[in-house]
A = this chain, B = another copy of it.
Amino acid sequence: MADSKKDELKQQVIIGAREYGIGSVLFRHMVGEKLGVNVTDMECLGLIFLKGLATPSELGRYAGLSSGATTAMLDRLEKSGLIERRPNPNDRRSTLIAIVQARAAQIAPLFASLRQAQDALLSSYSEAELEVLVDFFRRSVVMWEEEREKLSKKQTEE
């Protein structure tokens, strides 16, 4: 029981990270409601916001969609004027999805308070502490990638 305190802290981090994810998912759902888009479309829209540009394949992979469903999802978002399909200069089979600039300005207010709150929260940490956070996320992202790789190779044994 020597390390029980550290073990407990580790457990709290794991659960805390999961709850953080849940909180952010619920927030995006609510934004989606305001925008009148469904859960799938909102998740993709969120990813496009984060990345600036994204390919359909990428979005489909993230949302767990087939290629057909991905096309349909983009059709919906395009029809509602939220995104646009642009040519992908690196691959003419593909397209690049972007937020329509005019709509982005209308959407921004929904995130204004969030941004402020996030900024205020993070400002309370020292640079050294922030670096701990950055380091944790950076290494974790790599870990998730590795674990997906392992899982995909794992046979559905017995």
Residues of chain A whose beta carbon lies under 8 Å from any beta carbon of chain B: 5-6, 9-10, 12-27, 29-32, 34, 38-39, 47, 50, 61-64, 110, 113-114, 117-119, 121-123, 125, 127, 129-134, 136-141, 143-148, 150-152, 154, 156
Contacts of A16 in B (CB 8 A): 133-134, 136-138, 141
Contact of A144 among B9, B26, B144 (CB under 8 A): B26
From A110, which residue of chain B is reached at the shortest CB distance?
B151
Interface centre among A17, A31, A125, A127 (most CB of B within 10 A): A17
- In the complex the two chains form, is B13's CB within 8 Å of A152's CB? no
- In the complex the two chains form, is B119's CB within 8 Å of A10's CB? yes
- In the complex the two chains form, is A14's CB within 8 Å of B122's CB? yes
Ordered by A's residue number, 14 sampled pairs between the chains whose C-beta atoms are within 8 Å are A9-B122, A9-B127, A10-B122, A10-B130, A16-B134, A18-B24, A19-B137, A19-B141, A27-B151, A38-B64, A113-B151, A132-B132, A132-B133, A133-B133
A20 to chain B, nearest CB (A): 5
Contacts of A119 in B (CB 8 A): 10
A48 to chain B, nearest CB (A): 12
